[in-house]
Amino acid sequence: MKILIAAGGTGGHIYPGLSIGQKLREKHPEAEIVYVGSHVGMEKDIVPKYGFPLELIRARGFERGFSKETLEAVKGLFESRTDSKELIRRHKPDLVITSGGFTGAALLREAQRCRIPTMLHEQNAFPGRSNRLTGKHADRIGVSFEEARKYFPQERTFLCGNPVREAFVSPDRKAARKKLGLTENDRFVVVMGGSQGAASINRSAAGAAASLYRAQTADGNNAVKPIRWKLLTGRGQDAETAALIEQELGSVPGSISIQPYSEEMDTLLAAADLAAGRAGAMSVAELCACGVPSILFPYPLAAGDHQTFNARVLEKAGAAMLIPDSELTPMLLESAVKGILEDQNRCAQMSQAADGLKIVDAADRFAAEADRLLGVPDAPQE
């Protein structure tokens, strides 16, 4: 069995594709699984670390507006078709899978032209334009939100969820809090600005954390439970965020930890009482896997405003509070954090709602559907 998986561009496409590939490799050790990416995405640095061979095609995403990059993207559109034809001819795959993005579109179309079985994984509640177009003809489409079903042929669409890393599947809150040095009395808030950071989030988080710290230490106020903060600012923005807090408090207190990013998100979310940040598909899946109440500020420039659609799913379920980025201020964030943390019933209900949305066997569901599509003997039935 030979499988091509197109998983390129951003981590939101790459990691689900990797999780699917790992599950297929686990079920079919004899299978040859090859990843397909582009020269401009993150996959060339990520995929090889997981032990999969990687082929690169000349594809580029389209930027908003017309520019030199637009011309390069048009050129890449034709080149990616040529490269995809060559890959199909050379590898002769039994199945082609894409986890979305510009890299997978050309490969999926070529596989469909050659009548090779195809599958698509959609991470968001509102599918991107590329997936909506290619998904019309895919043999199976796995969606992560029920809200995405209506954009694809119903008879070929199934709910599978977003594959999250194993570390998020069974979070151990007690062990995580012990590792982070948190007491039973501490309330722990994680603020995530994304890998590239977001000035609006960092400014608001700095202001909210400083103001609430001042309130809990005023005149030795022991009635207010201490709040511990982890501010993940994005690369290059940690010093600026620290400076904002220093302007307010004179120094950064020990209860406010500032880092550009963390490689221990599973530990942080397992320990968190509340999280705040963007509403990317994988972030939302990890929040739900850990049952963490959240405050979400969807990225306003996301394609098709898909992060707002993701956030609305959690908001509707009662798992999150949605604040548009344009409305985000230190005062509003402070009020939101305080309102959630000081209402134990609300906090518990939000946590329960988030837990109710989680799908921890997403990769298993997708792999089982792949088996059915290929007619693998003894494929598990729904």
> Over 60: is that where the pLDDT of 159 sits?
yes
- Averaged pLDDT, 170-190: 95
- The predicted pLDDT at position 243 comes to 97
Instruction: Specify which residues 164 forms β-bridges with.
Output: none
Beta bridge partners of 321: 295
User: What DSSP designation does 14 have?
Assistant: H
- Give pLDDT, residue 62: 47
d(CA 155, CA 202): 44
**DSSP-derived pairing of the beta strands 294-296 and 274-277:** parallel
Residue 74 has what pLDDT?
Answer: 46
Strand, coil or helix: what is 296?
strand
Q: Please write the tens of the pLDDT for every residue from 88-131.
A: 999 999 999 998 877 888 899 899 999 999 999 999 999 988 88
pLDDT over 70 percentage in the chain? 92
The β-bridge partners of 320 are 294
* CATH class entry, domain 2-164+360-374: alpha beta
Confidence of residue 278 (pLDDT cuts 50, 70, 90): very high
pLDDT bin (cut points 50, 70, 90) of residue 223 is low
**Taking the alpha carbons of 365, 371, 377, 381 in that order, is the dihedral positive or negative?**
positive
CA–CA dist 260, 147 (Å, integer)? 33
Residue type, 352: Q
Closest CA to 285 of 252, 307, 257: 307
The C-alpha atoms of residue 86 and residue 79 are separated, in whole angstroms, by: 11
Would you state the pLDDT for residue 382? 47
Domain layout of the chain by residue ranges: 2-164+360-374, 167-357
The pLDDT value given to residue 370? 97
Region 267-287 average pLDDT: 96
- Residue 42 DSSP class: T
For residue range 12-43, list pLDDT tens digits in order. 788 899 999 999 999 999 999 999 988 777 78
Whole-number Å distance between alpha carbons of 167 and 360: 11
Pick 263 or 23 by higher pLDDT: 23
167-357 shares the fold of 2-164+360-374: yes
Superfamily of domain 167-357: Glycogen Phosphorylase B; (3.40.50.2000)
Adjacent-strand bridge partners of 231? 191, 258
Kindly state the average pLDDT of the residues 290-303.
94
AA identity, residue 293:
P
Amino acid (one-letter) located at 209: A
Task: Return the exposure string of 56-67: e unless at least 16 CB atoms fall within 10 Å of the residue's CB, then b.
Answer: bbbbbbbeeeee
Task: Kindly report the number of other CB atoms within 10 A of residue 224's CB atom.
Answer: 14
- Tell me the two tokens of residue 255: 């209860």
Residue type, 261: Y
- What is the per-residue DSSP string for 110-161? HHHHTT--EEEEE-SSS--HHHHHHTTT-SEEEESSGGGGGGS-GGGEEE--
The continuous run of DSSP H or E covering 90 comes out as helix 68-91
Rounded Cα distance between 112 and 140, Å, is 12
Distance of alpha carbon 13 from alpha carbon 124, whole angstroms: 10
Give the tens place of pLDDT for each residue, 333-367. 999 999 999 999 999 999 999 999 999 999 999 99
